[in-house]
């Protein structure tokens, strides 16, 4: 039995066993001669094969487990001696773009330099750990003077260290980071896992707010995170149950008054929370595969509605569907659009895709530009959404195959009363005309705003002054009533002459 246990132990220690093999052979020969040596030679390989297969490989603990263990040790110390600790989570903004721009080897060189700098900037006793998701965790040593204000200063100092340019052979590279932190007294019953989780919640909030943000943990953040997690978990089931639906808002020509298109806007008819607008649930699913599910759902419902209106004799020229940056990176996107159009028997000109200006104003990824070009070549329209809010340059606008600029509602509101607003919109319309692009103003709420936009030369308007967003089942009735009203106004105008 003892020999069996010894062999089992040796089987799990591969390099140690190899080092001891000569000594074992010599000992066997001295004690039992050639028969013992032969027995050892026959037994040991079989034991290694048998027990080695059964023994689980030793794996180092996850880094997050090391962080938690360290925090637990410091919290135990503070419980006896007093003081406080804290945890910070550092996340590098745009790490994926950094890899695309520099390559993986140089990205690793930059990040290694930043980690070395951060270690040098820590206080005595503070420890830095690389996390599995590419971020960093900083565990602060116990201190009687540590408070939330000091933690903000520590975070700001770390940001300053990170943002100093890293000099490569190809030139300087600057990286920006977002930081979340949690001060141990903020938790009612702090332990290592809860402290790390809280810092990660704050870090996610910082990254979502803007590049280079710093956020401290609060109970409200935790509640918001739990709510987002619940929405994310239930979204796919909601799609399957038909709760996620496309609503539509008409767009009309400022020249003829005819309906020139509709925009698809998502609504989630949540069984417990009622009808949710996009702002209530999109932040919960952004960056996940659920965005692709949403995009497919909206495209399918939008084209189905357009085809159904055709069958009722209520033809609308085009439907506009928003595409996220995540979808625009999919190399198969243009093919998917073509297949779905063919499925409903619609020509490509009946579909308009809307692209946020922030996408065009970014790094201008080649795959995004190529996809937009292929979509335009297919015959679909391409609208630049929320124009004026994303700081896109003229060069960026010309690089993408665009057909129309959508003027953001922030420039349209009270345009009939605000001279500065009028000047801004006039400049946008002039730019569009020079670039050969059509225009549509969104968020138009009053007849006065509508009239002034028409006078300034805006091609189309969309907003409450025309109609509020409505479900597909109400769209046909609204469209028939609108066209009937428009035809009666024309007949009255003709008789008046």
Cα angle value 416/418/424 (rounded, 5°): 95
**Model pTM?**
0.69
> Which pLDDT belongs to residue 460?
96
> Which pLDDT belongs to residue 353?
95
> Which pLDDT belongs to residue 32?
66
Rg (CA), the chain: 32
Q: Which residues make Cβ contacts (< 8 Å) with residue 315, sequence separation at least 6?
A: 309
Asked if residues 166 and 68 have their Cβ atoms less than 8 Å apart, the reply is no
> Which pLDDT belongs to residue 53?
40
Number of other residues whose CB lies within 10 A of the CB of residue 371: 25
Q: Which residues pair with 172 in a beta bridge?
A: 167
Q: Write the DSSP string, 92-157.
A: EETHHHHHHHH-HHHHHHHHHHHHHHHHHHSPTT-EEEE-TTS-EEEEPPPBTT--HHHHHHHHHH
Selection from 473, 441, 486 nearest residue 259 by Cα:
486
The Cα–Cα gap between 167 and 418 comes to: 48
Sign, CA dihedral 132-137-141-146, equals negative
- pLDDT (tens, 9 = 90+) of the chain, 497 residues, equals 444 434 344 444 444 444 456 656 666 656 666 666 566 555 655 454 444 444 344 344 567 888 899 999 999 998 888 889 999 999 988 766 666 677 777 778 888 888 899 998 898 899 999 888 788 999 999 998 888 899 999 999 999 999 888 888 778 888 889 999 999 998 888 899 999 999 999 998 888 777 789 999 988 888 888 888 888 889 999 999 999 999 999 999 999 999 999 999 999 999 988 999 998 888 888 878 899 999 999 999 999 999 999 999 999 999 999 998 889 889 999 999 999 999 999 999 999 999 887 777 655 457 888 899 999 999 999 998 878 666 666 776 777 788 999 998 989 988 989 899 999 999 999 999 988 999 999 999 999 999 999 999 999 999 999 999 999 999 999 999 999 888 887 655 544 44
Number of other residues whose CB lies within 10 A of the CB of residue 343: 12
> Which pLDDT belongs to residue 240?
92
Helix 290-311 with 333-343: angle, nearest 10 deg: 30
For 347-356, what is each residue's pLDDT tens digit? Answer: 999 999 998 8
The Cα–Cα gap between 280 and 234 comes to: 13
The Cα–Cα gap between 402 and 62 comes to: 48
> Which pLDDT belongs to residue 246?
96
Asked if residues 260 and 486 have their Cβ atoms less than 8 Å apart, the reply is no
Q: Which residues pair with 89 in a beta bridge?
A: 137, 180
> Which pLDDT belongs to residue 87?
94
> Which pLDDT belongs to residue 2?
40
Q: How far is CA 277 from the centre of its chain?
A: 18
């Amino acid at each position: 039995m003892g020999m069996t246990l010894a062999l089992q132990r040796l089987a799990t220690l591969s390099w140690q066993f190899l080092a001891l093999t000569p000594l074992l052979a010599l000992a066997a020969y001295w004690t039992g001669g050639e028969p013992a040596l032969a027995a050892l030679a026959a037994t040991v390989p079989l034991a290694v094969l048998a027990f080695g297969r059964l023994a689980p490989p030793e794996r180092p603990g996850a880094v997050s487990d090391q962080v938690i263990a360290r925090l637990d040790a410091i919290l135990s110390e503070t419980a006896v001696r007093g003081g406080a600790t804290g945890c910070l989570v550092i996340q590098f903004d745009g790490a994926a773009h950094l890899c695309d721009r520099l390559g993986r080897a140089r990205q690793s060189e930059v990040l290694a330099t930043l980690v070395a700098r951060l270690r040098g900037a820590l206080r005595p006793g503070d420890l830095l750990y690389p996390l599995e998701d590419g971020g960093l965790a900083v565990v602060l040593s116990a201190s009687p003077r540590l408070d939330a204000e000091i933690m903000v200063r520590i975070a700001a100092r770390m940001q300053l260290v990170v943002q100093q340019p890293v000099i490569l052979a190809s030139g300087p590279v600057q990286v920006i980071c977002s930081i979340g932190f949690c001060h141990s007294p903020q938790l009612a019953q702090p332990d290592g896992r809860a402290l790390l989780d809280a810092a990660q919640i704050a870090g996610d909030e910082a990254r979502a707010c803007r590049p280079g943000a710093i956020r401290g943990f609060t109970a409200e953040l935790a509640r918001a995170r739990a709510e987002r997690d619940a929405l994310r978990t239930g979204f796919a089931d909601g799609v399957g149950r038909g709760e996620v639906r496309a609503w539509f808002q008409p767009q009309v020509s400022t020249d003829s008054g005819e309906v020139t298109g509709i925009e698809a806007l998502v609504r989630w008819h949540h069984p417990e929370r009622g009808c949710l607008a996009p702002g209530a649930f999109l932040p919960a699913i952004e960056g996940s595969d659920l965005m692709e599910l949403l995009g497919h759902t909206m495209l399918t419902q939008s084209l189905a509605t357009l085809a159904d209106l055709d069958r009722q004799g209520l033809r609308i020229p085009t439907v506009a569907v928003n595409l996220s940056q995540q979808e625009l990176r999919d190399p198969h996107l243009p093919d998917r659009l073509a297949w779905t159009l063919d499925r409903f028997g619609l020509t490509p000109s009946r579909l308009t895709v809307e692209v946020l200006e922030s996408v065009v104003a970014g790094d201008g990824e080649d795959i995004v530009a190529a996809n937009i070009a292929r979509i335009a070549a297919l015959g679909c329209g391409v609208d630049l959404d929320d124009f004026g809010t994303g700081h896109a340059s003229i060069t960026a606008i010309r690089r993408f195959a665009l057909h129309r600029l959508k003027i953001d509602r922030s420039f349209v509101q009270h345009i009939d009363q605000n001279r500065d607003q009028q000047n801004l919109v006039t400049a946008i319309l002039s730019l569009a005309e020079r670039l050969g692009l059509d225009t549509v103003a969104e968020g138009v709420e009053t007849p006065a705003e509508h009239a002034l936009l028409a006078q300034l030369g805006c091609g189309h308007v969309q907003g409450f002054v025309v109609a509020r967003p409505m479900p597909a089942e109400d769209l046909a009735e609204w469209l028939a009533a609108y066209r009937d009203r428009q035809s009666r106004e024309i007949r009255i105008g003709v008789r008046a002459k």
